[in-house]
Amino acid sequence: MLLIADASALIALTACKQLPLLEKLFDKVVVSSVVYDELTADLSKPFAKELSAYLIDKRIELDSHNIILLDAYSDAGEISSMVLFKQLQADRLLIDDARGRKVAAVNQIPVIGSMGVLVLAKRKGFIQSASQSIELMLDAGIYIHPDLVAHVKQLTNE
């Protein structure tokens, strides 16, 4: 299963030290060169060094012949991730941004977010607790809507 990853979800999974889950849950993980540059341009930013090391062999250049429908608010990383999804005929797009997820839905791109990764990992026995990972994300300043936190805890019986 091929996963295209966007920046926000990668940051969230790095914040809770669960980035390795992607390799356990998906056959291949790649990012667009735009997302790679966004995450690694300033290595003094939180998690930039970890993400640079993780993504070094996972970046792919875009073929701009793929067309997607956009809104006025999507950023370059989200757009490039969706274009790369179409280019590689991927299976899933890893994205947390709510607007980006709506644009993906319009383009019939199936998505999973960092919370979905935690739920899937818990169900497959790769982690003992999704709640601990969520707490680490929150401690790192990652915003997660309280309703989503409650929903994940319900799905994982925590």
Span 124-135, mean pLDDT?
A: 97
Into how many domains does the chain fold? 1
Residue 89: the pLDDT is 94
Identify the pLDDT of residue 128: 96
Q: pLDDT tens across 48-75, in order?
A: 999 999 999 999 987 766 555 555 556 7
Please give the residue range of the domain that contains residue 39: 2-155
Burial class (CB in 10 A: 0-12, 13-18, 19+), 146: exposed
List the beta strands (DSSP E) in the chain. Answer: 2-5, 28-32, 59-60, 92-94, 111-112
Question: Could you give the CA distance from residue 46 to residue 117 in angstroms, rounded to a whole number?
Answer: 21
What residues form DSSP beta bridges with 111?
Answer: 93
154 pLDDT above the threshold of 70: yes
Residue 85 pLDDT class (50, 70, 90 cuts): very high
Give the model's confidence band at 110: pLDDT under 50 very low, under 70 low, under 90 confident, else very high.
very high
pLDDT of residue 148: 96
pLDDT above 80 for 138: yes
| pLDDT given for residue 41 in this prediction | 92
- What b/e readout covers 31-57, taking b as 16+ CB neighbours within 10 angstroms? bbebbbebbbeeeeeebbebbeebbee
pLDDT higher for 65 or 140? 140
Provide the pLDDT for residue 67: 56
Q: What's the CATH number where 12 sits? A: 3.40.50.1010
